[in-house]
Amino acid sequence: MNHPMKNLPVTTPNGLSLAETTRATVKEYLQLLGNQDATYLYRQIIDEVEKPLLEVLMEHTNGNQSRTAALLGINRATLRSKLKRHSLI
């Protein structure tokens, strides 16, 4: 089984980690909402991140679902469920 790299977090060209970039983006989003309540924010953020992640990895593996699942550290059935949720299969 693959294990996460110990060198993480990898930084972006602006020097921010993925976690720092996510934190800043969520804060900015909440500021844009102002006094308006965010609803289903968790699902919205997961969907916004998960779909492009799946698209890029499926492209990287030339559509090999078993390999993509292994890269993600999930089983193939879970991957297929996520691909269906995002209309990628």
45-74: pLDDT as tens digits: 999 999 999 999 999 999 999 999 999 999
Residue type, 1: M
Q: 68 exposed, middle or buried (CB, 10 Å; 0-12, 13-18, 19+)?
A: buried
pLDDT at residue number 18: 85
SS3 (DSSP) at 11: strand
pLDDT at 10 over 80: no
Map out the domains of the chain with their CATH numbers.
18-85 (1.10.10.60)
**What is the model's pTM?**
0.75
pLDDT confidence of 9, banded at 50, 70, 90? low
pLDDT higher at 78 or 39: 78
SS3 (DSSP) at 17: strand
Distance CA 16, CA 52 (A): 20
